[in-house]
A and B are shown apart, each in its own frame.
Chain A
């Protein structure tokens, strides 16, 4: 075993240590290791960390937030890091635990996060976000796609008894709002309306699962659908939109309330301004949003109400 020897070395007199070059290197490595260790245990220089709900394919998220990270770094003149997470809940938890200070949340995840972190504020949202909507999509074999009116907010009664997939369990456009309107139209829980209800995990998966027919129907974020169609990654001869939900507020940037005390007075305002100033079309297209506008916590009150009604928020 090497460990006891190195420990012994640490307690030897400095003269002996300095005699040997090898020991010096060893000592340096040890110090570096200890520094790495303590760096992660003790608070180092503050890095501004942000995350986002994993609502889409990982490749797309990485590409998008690498750009955002670089942009924020130049604007805020501080170290900025993006931390990818595997679930909506993990994004909320990281925000709540102050492991990230800024997050790109959906409507529901944002409301939940702000409930859990007193003082947290929604600061910016996409131009499209106050009037967001979800699409209901169906596989062609269901026969529902033939005469479908894609803009109708009432779904055909034939969808009952089919299989259906939501996106993530914690998604606003992939779960909460579609479930709310399904409950309203059919007066029962989705698992009574459909023969099988699943949760694909994210919007890209929902499209893929309905396209392969693993599920006959699905609910998807309209932005993700539109950009997938535009990018040609979805085969519209197999899967089509058969209806949509009424409009509701969705995505937003949320910051912790203690941001100023962590990063200095006025930092929150700086972050907000940086987000609102995002004008690079390349950056905006990666979301995709036309631009960002100010948001307040009150903008998302309807989501809170619906969340309570559906039973996803206490």
Chain B
């Protein structure tokens, strides 16, 4: 625990104060947020949905297995590329521009990246690969650099000084940090599978493709089969992702994602002129693109008006809704995590109950937010409510899982109380620090997801990005994506400052 902490309530108060402040902001946001269940008979649809889980469709299992294979292949290659890239960057992380580049890479959501690459490469596998590899390498670089920083400097001092920096790196830093690097990469691979599945929603042949098709037609028993298999895939990662199997997976994955059979839509060739056109024409702001001369006074006036129109009509409303939704979802996530973690902790429930709790948390955290929000939107109708519940469920379960693990390592006194008293007076106060640290890490993640959920119809930034892309206005889309990225970087920075101010420990693996 935090050794700098003094006993007494006063030293606790900054954390409590910040928590209360966040709670207050969320409550205010709740008042102005658009929250309602608009479907006339939500229960009927929910009943249909849950009834379908009792008799999942077996005809779709073949398709589902193929989709999952492709999903895993995209995730594996994307994450592998990102890990290599991330490690290379991490060793050079002292350069400010590299740190900024990585912050930029990871501040743009996978789906936004995919939407950009879709314009250049079409449905070619490269689109999916880069959409995962780019943001993930930004994350890897940062976390790997943190891990490498933490290793003991002893061995590198022992290694003879005339050795190159590379030798030093390989035999001292990386060698020491290896277990941590591997465990973090493993964790991100699970995230990669979720990202890869979601990319199907925009047309890649991964799981999301079939889920979207089945769900939008109300074939809930197909949805149930697809999701059940997806949960099995995630739950058994440790088995099929054994390190002896890795070479086989890595060698077969490129073949899988390129193959005509598994990926018929991705067979079109990459054409250089499409890439060139995207960068030299599509993303140039319309007033400049159509202007006779670049440096005319008139074109600058037109550019200014263009920017102003997008700022007031799209960026500001989008940012506003994104912020509101993020703050509500963040606090809801926190509350849910605190409520859920006892279910999976042996301090509170017996073994049977714990398995149930763990299963619940696995299901909630392995279902991507985007998917949850999509499902809830179909069932409850459009408003911010499905998005809030989806974000809180996924992130809450994830944090609860981490807290439960932590609580089990907590030494308790022999005469410790049990039940609610144990929770309130013993465990919660001791877990509150790591809890806040994790939550602040998730803040930026939640915001990135919030922006994306706009694609589903909630008026966050993603809604306007999607509209711009549907109108084939990539200049507008890019401007919106950049504003979303800047907002993310800002929140990331703010969270970092708060962590430092509250002297919360570093907790990169969340």
Contact = CB atoms under 8 A, between A and B. Distances in A.
Given A36-B258, A86-B209, 5 more contacts: A58-B216, A58-B217, A85-B265, A169-B466, A212-B39
A198 interface: yes
Interface residues of A, number: 56
Classify chain B's interface size. 35 or more
B470 A163 contact: no
Contact of A97 (B260, B268, B466): B268
B254 A37 contact: yes
Nearest to A139: B40
Interface string B258-287: 111000111111110010000000000010
Contacts of B212: 86
Interface hub of A3, A88, A169, A208 (most chain B Cβ within 10 A): A169
B270 A41 contact: yes
Contacts of A283: none
B42 to A, nearest CB: 9
19 contacts: A37-B258, A43-B269, A58-B217, A59-B217, A84-B265, A85-B265, A86-B202, A86-B203, A86-B209, A89-B470, A90-B202, A97-B271, A97-B274, A112-B472, A169-B470, A204-B216, A204-B217, A208-B218, A209-B381
Interface SS, B side: helix
A83 to B, nearest CB: 5
A90 B269 contact: no
Nearest to A93: B119
A88 B202 CA distance: 11
Contacts of A33: 254-255
B40 A58 contact: no
A86 B374 CA distance: 15
A90 B203 contact: yes
A170 interface: yes
Contacts of B118: 90, 93
B471 interface: yes
Nearest to B257: A40
A170 to B, nearest CB: 5
B457 interface: yes
Contacts of A209: 381
A154 to B, nearest CB: 27
A40 B124 contact: yes
A280 B145 CA distance: 65
A213 B41 contact: yes
B472 A214 contact: no
Contacts of A49: 268
Given A87-B202, A169-B470, A170-B470, A214 B258 contact: no
Contacts of A59: 213, 217
Interface of A: 1-3, 33, 36-37, 40-43, 47, 49, 57-59, 81, 83-90, 92-94, 96-100, 112, 116, 139, 141, 163, 168-170, 196, 198-199, 201-202, 204-205, 208-209, 212-215, 312-314
B212 to A, nearest CB: 7
A49 B269 CA distance: 12
B382 interface: yes
A93 B470 CA distance: 10
Nearest to A51: B265
Contacts of A215: 38, 381-382
B122 interface: yes
A151 B378 CA distance: 31
B251 A2 contact: yes
Contact of B216 (A57, A93, A196, A214): A57
Given A99-B122, A314-B286, A85 B216 contact: no
A83 B118 CA distance: 14
B382 A214 contact: yes
Nearest to B45: A212
Contacts of B382: 196, 198, 214-215
Interface string B379-403: 0011000000000000000000000
A36 B381 CA distance: 45
A169 B41 contact: no
Nearest to B286: A314
B201 A86 contact: yes
Contacts of B451: none
Q: Which of A83, A89, A212, A313 neighbours the largest number of chain B CB atoms within 10 Å of its CB?
A: A89
Nearest to B265: A83
Nearest to B471: A312
Given A3-B251, A83-B264, A99 B40 contact: no
B419 interface: no
Contacts of B91: none
A93 B381 contact: no
A116 B213 contact: no
Contacts of A58: 213, 216-217
Contacts of A169: 466-467, 470-471
A40 B41 contact: no
Nearest to A140: B40
A86 B457 CA distance: 16
A43 B40 CA distance: 53
A313 B286 CA distance: 12
Given A86-B203, A99-B123, A169-B471, A81 B217 contact: no
B154 interface: no
Interface string B96-129: 0000000000000000000000110011110000
A276 to B, nearest CB: 27
A227 to B, nearest CB: 15
B469 interface: yes
B268 A57 contact: no
A196 B38 contact: yes
Contact of B203 (A42, A85, A198): A85
Contacts of A1: 247
A314 B473 CA distance: 9
Q: Which are the 8 A-B pairs with shortest beta-carbon distances?
A: A213-B40, A99-B268, A214-B381, A58-B213, A86-B203, A214-B39, A169-B470, A99-B122
Contacts of A204: 216-217
